[in-house]
Amino acid sequence: MFCNLMNQEQNNMDSYLSLKREIQLARKIQRQLLNGEKPVLPNSEVSGFSIPARMIGGDYFDFYPLSDGRVRIIIGDVMGKGIPAAMLMILTRGAFRSAAEVTQGPGETLTSMNKAIYKDLRTLNSFVTVFCADWDPVTGNIVYANAGHYMPVLVRENLEAFELPDLKGVMLGGLPDQVYQEKQLRLLEGDTLFFYTDGIVEAQNGKGEMFQIERLNETLIQNAHKTASELETIVIETLTSFTEGSPQRDDITMVILKVGKGRDDQC
């Protein structure tokens, strides 16, 4: 009897260690996918950063260089956390990569993605919020489409911060046969465009207070002159200070686009 118990305990330990190794491998794969090569843009900078609430998460960002010099930017948030959300994140990434190759703009991209993964998301009773944008570093034009995600914050050199003009759209997996509309805006030299997921504005301190969009805007305005990498660090440090050691409840993800000096605004 004693030997059987010891063997069972050893088997349980072996299973635990095996599962832990597999989760660590999944985390490594996810980090490699999220930390892929960032596009090099003339006189501009784009960067992304993500911290999962658990070992692996369901937030997603990506960059896809287009043949005409534009770059397609996407950020998304899968419903849920942990391994199930991470699996759906990979599904979302595959749908984006496939769509980005053949679609003309972000609206078509989201439409194609929804068609590709709608049935899978409904089967799993899940959905994904996504914001997609095409940035042209030569003309300064940004064209965007939205599938139920937070609108990015635009910070101007005059220290003004505001969300991009609202564009509503149903989350991926919400309804079949959705056609996503687009809007266009011209960014100026010195602009900072901040894409984010709800893990930032909904982060809570020990009193249950949320970080909220107002604190985010203030942080961005105060540090708009920083580089994208520096701004990433400052946002995380500000969140850490605000939460005062409270457990991270949700994945935290951001993408920062900075329009550099010297771009020809007369194109």
Each residue's pLDDT tens digit, 196-255: 999 999 999 999 999 999 999 999 999 999 999 999 999 999 999 999 988 888 999 999
| Sequence spans of domains, the chain | 41-259
Residue 142 — pLDDT band, cuts 50, 70, 90? very high
Rounded Cα–Cα distance for residues 187 and 262 (Å): 13
E strands, 56-102, are 59-65, 71-78
pTM: 0.87
Radius of gyration of the chain (CA): 20
Write down the number of H helices and E strands in the chain.
6, 10
- With a CB cutoff of 8 Å and minimum separation 6, the contacts of 215 are 238, 242
d(CA 258, CA 195): 11
SS3 71: strand
Q: Which residues pair with 63 in a beta bridge?
A: 73
CATH class of the domain defined by 41-259: alpha beta
Task: Mention every residue, 6+ apart, whose C-beta is less than 8 A from residue 150.
Answer: 129, 131, 196, 197, 198, 201
Tell me the percentage of the chain whose pLDDT exceeds 90.
66
pLDDT of residue 202: 95
pLDDT of residue 82: 76
User: Residue 16 and residue 6: Cα distance in Å, rounded?
Assistant: 15
21-36: per-residue pLDDT in tens?
656 665 666 566 666 6
Tokens describing residue 111: 């439409």
Q: What percent of the chain has pLDDT over 70?
A: 84
At 150-188, the pLDDT tens digits run 999 999 988 899 999 999 999 999 999 999 999 999 999
